[in-house]
Amino acid sequence: MTIYEQSNSSNAYLEMDLLRFTTAGSVDDGKSTLIGRLLYDSKAIFEDQLDAIEQASLNRGEDGVNLALLTDGLRAEREQGITIDVAYRYFATPKRKFIIADTPGHVQYTRNMVTGASTADLAVVLIDARHGVLTQSKRHGFIASLLRIPHVVVAVNKMDLVEFSQEVFAKIEREYTAFSAKLDITDITFIPVSALKGDNVVDRSEHMDWYHGPTFLHHLEHVNIASDRNLIDFRFPVQAVIRPHQNFRGYAGTIVSGVIRPKEEVMALPSGKTSRIKEVTTFEGDLGEAGAGTPVVITIEDEIDISRGDMLVRPGNIPQVDNEVGAMICWMSEEPLDRNRHYVLQHSTREVKAFVDEVSYRVDVDTLHREDADTLQLNDIGRVQITTAQPLFFDPYRVNQETGAFILVDPFSHNTVAAGMIRGATRTAEEVGERAAHLSRSALQEARKELRSPNVVWEGLNIPREEREAAGKHGAAVVWFTGLSGSGKTTVARVLERRLFGAGVKTMLLDGDYVRHGLCGDLGFSASDRAENIRRVGEVARLFFEQGSVVLCTFVSPYSEDRARARALVPESRFFEIFVDVDLDTARDRDPKGLYAKSDQGEIANLTGVTSPYEAPANPELMLKTADMSIEEAADVVLEALKSAGIIKSNHAI
């Protein structure tokens, strides 16, 4: 049976969901065999393919059909029995279409794994049950985390060679779970399999009745990838200008994220000029709406100078525009990185001349430690600072993989020398603050509309905040304490709350530990999880604010943009950003939770101020230097600010 015969019709096949996944692991862990078994047992192999691998197996003198040969397409691979290049395979089941990238396991082919995994929705890391978690297993997990692949499957293979032992599987699961906790991996699933025998690949194993999870194919068919797509940030890189005659001018390209509709306002970058969408059309006709991944031709109502490499966005939701970026790159060339020459940076449909100004560090992917480096060699992964001749229109890779990725090309050989993931613009703290201030309240409100659940109507509050404030005889406010761990945020807020409560002021203290024990217990500490944590806290703070309380929020909240979103939820005069400022050495000496010590020992991967950035407020309402003042003095400063703003009446006995 062919893959097309498994679908009810060709149209049904075309409309099926598509999952891209990559496989990786150490040499001889059985990646190619697993894929071969998957294709074979799901009836996705054509007869001529099966005849070819049967003949190849016979020529190699093997007993039976070597299913790994389905993906090992290069002659060198077949002779050595290993995978060297990235092998892509396509197949489908009645539930979903698949594109598989089978990547090599050798250390020297790290660049190939980066290539295969760059567009993946899911990564499969194979571990040989006999050998357990090896350095390469960790390396591939790190790369999956670096590329922000949202779903990871750890397939513990060759279970038949360890007598299908539950204890062996459980030990590997515990060890890899502990390792992955240091990475930015949000969804990880462990499946015991025997690729050679077919156990738990397509059909459930009769030898592992202790395993109650899904088979490998069942998980691939049902893992939810729809929520992984960015449907908020509309980004349309212009690939070509379509001018079949003088009465038509359209802009062709693929919508890489977000959704657009006719009549909506758009802005053209870099000009900054605005217009409205006239038509969104395809070869088959006009569309009422088009989303991420859709190739379209867009026409607008006004004559604006737009060409290839420009980008259409929403005026209230623009990407960062800068010619200096910080990025993580994987070096793919035999020639080392040369900081004294230029490269061509290809970002979406834009090509610009670029210089790598600085190599901040190189990552030892075996230990995850950072190493000082002046250059990068083949397969090295490192953090760099890049300057481009013309500005890029980008989002951080953690927010939007489509506009956060790029490649570097040698302008003379035209070889791709590096693949990169943009971390953000290279800015001073003041410039970051200006960018956060630039985010208009209307833009943030528009973004929130996109996030709302469908068919939910805001009914309005039963008792307006103004009535509650009058009854409580004080104003409502959100007091947001931000700063490094150990700066004293929570300590000051606790003293402040006690004094406010004693004077009859309604208060609520929201602290990071409180919310992560319940409301945000499902979140980690990656950049995206931190952003979601602050989003939730901001919404809760708004509810308590509308209830008439003085809400004290104590969160590291390292990103200015996240704090700006929290600020936009309440009236401007009712939000007080308090920057609790201490130097890193003072915070280390205090270390109330032992986080810095754990970070130094490698137990914490993303500690703000050490291994993760902190964007200090540029224009906070207050700055508390807790290294130079007592806790009581710091609380006094905040109280005086609340009194000056009229939140607390001067006659309150505090």
In three-state form (DSSP H/G/I as H, E/B as E, the rest C), the secondary structure along 351-380 is: EEEEEEEEEEEEEECCCCEEECCCCCCCCC
* pLDDT value for 53: 62
For residue 228, which of 183, 292, 295, 320 has the smallest C-alpha distance? 292
Alpha carbon distance 352, 308 (integer Å): 12
Mean pLDDT, rounded, for 199-206: 93
pLDDT at 586: 87
- The architecture CATH gives domain 320-426: Beta Barrel (2.40)
pLDDT number for residue 469: 83
At the fourth CATH level, the homologous superfamily of domain 4-227 is P-loop containing nucleotide triphosphate hydrolases (3.40.50.300)
Mean pLDDT value of segment 108-123: 68
Distance separating alpha carbons of residues 450 and 454, to the nearest angstrom: 9
The catalytic site residues sit at 557
Q: Are 638 and 494 in contact (CB under 8 A)?
A: no
Q: What CATH number does the domain located at 235-313 have?
A: 2.40.30.10
- Higher-pLDDT residue of 110, 466: 466
**Mean predicted confidence (pLDDT) in 144-152:** 85
Q: Domain 437-644 - what CATH class?
A: alpha beta
pLDDT at 446: 43
Query: In the 8-state DSSP scheme, what is residue 257?
Result: B
pLDDT above 90 coverage of the chain, percent: 37
One fold for 235-313 and 320-426:
yes
What's the pLDDT at 49? 61
Coil, helix or strand for 414? coil
Res 16: pLDDT: 57
Q: Does residue 131 or residue 611 have the better pLDDT?
A: 131
Residue 41 confidence (pLDDT): 80
Q: How far apart are CA 50 and CA 38, in angstroms?
A: 14
pLDDT value of residue 559: 86
Phi/psi of residue 514, nearest 5 degrees:
-60, -55
Report the percentage of the chain scoring pLDDT > 70: 80
Model confidence at 62, in pLDDT bands (50, 70, 90)? low
Q: What is the sign of the dihedral through the CA atoms of 194, 199, 200 and 203?
A: positive
Q: What is the mean pLDDT of residues 356-377?
A: 86
Q: Which of 14-18, 180-184, 340-344, 382-386 has the lowest mean pLDDT?
A: 14-18
List for the chain the helix, strand, coil content (%; round to 5): 30, 30, 40
Average pLDDT (141-170) is 91
Element (H, E) at 285: strand 285-286
- Band (267; pLDDT cuts 50, 70, 90): very high
User: Over the stretch 495-504, which tens digit does the pLDDT of each residue have?
Assistant: 999 999 988 9
Q: What is the mean pLDDT of residues 521-527?
A: 76
Model confidence at 370: pLDDT above 90:
no
- pLDDT at position 542 over 70: yes
pLDDT digits (tens, 9 = 90+) for 160-192: 999 999 999 999 999 999 888 878 787 899 999
Q: What is the average pLDDT across 76-103?
A: 65
> Which pLDDT belongs to residue 45?
65
pLDDT for 130 equals 94
Q: Among the listed ranges 310-319, 367-376, 525-534, 612-621, which one has the minimum average pLDDT value? A: 525-534
As a whole number, mean pLDDT of residues 6-10 equals 34
Half-sphere exposure of 67 (CA within 13 A, CB side): 20
Span 359-376, mean pLDDT? Answer: 85
Q: Is the pLDDT of residue 283 over 80?
A: yes
Backbone angles phi, psi at 128, to 5 degrees: -70, 120
Domain ranges across the chain: 4-227, 235-313, 320-426, 437-644
Dihedrals φ, ψ of 421, to 5°?
-125, 115
How confident is the model over 449-472, as pLDDT tens digits? 444 455 444 455 678 888 888 888
Per-residue pLDDT, 428:
36
Please enumerate in sequence order all residues whose Cβ is within 8 A of that of 53, keeping only pairs 6 or more positions apart, or say none.
Answer: 36, 65, 66, 67, 69, 70
pLDDT of 587:
84
Q: Is the pTM of this model over 0.85?
A: no
Most confident of 5-9, 61-65, 271-275, 569-573: 271-275
- Asked if pLDDT for residue 585 goes beyond 90, the answer is no
- Residue 485 CB-density burial (10 A; 0-12 exposed, 13-18 middle, 19+ buried): buried
How buried is 361 (Cβ within 10 angstroms: 0-12 exposed, 13-18 middle, 19+ buried)? middle
Q: Mean pLDDT score of the chain, rounded to an integer?
A: 81
